[in-house]
Amino acid sequence: MSDERLEDCRDVVEPDLQDLIRATIASGFSAEEVLIAISELVAEDFAASVKVPSVH
């Protein structure tokens, strides 16, 4: 996986991620709560994709 490909993927994902963060904050959650929840979900998905134990 090249750095260029990762950067291209990030460019595609980032706008939707920012929209998700803003919408969730507008629903009444703090920025910290939103970022922690997203981080946990990403960690779970990453663990599943590389078949390592979850970090609960």
Q: pLDDT digit string (tens) for 13-34?
A: 999 999 999 999 999 999 999 9
Would you list the domain boundaries of the chain? 3-50
**Residues 6 or more apart whose Cβ sits within 8 Å of residue 24:** 34, 37
Looking at residue 1, what is its pLDDT?
A: 82
Computed over every residue of the chain, the mean pLDDT equals: 92
Is residue 25 within 8 Å of 35, Cβ to Cβ? Answer: no
Query: Confidence band (pLDDT; 50, 70, 90) for 48?
Result: confident
Structure tokens at 16: 């939707």
pTM of the model: 0.77
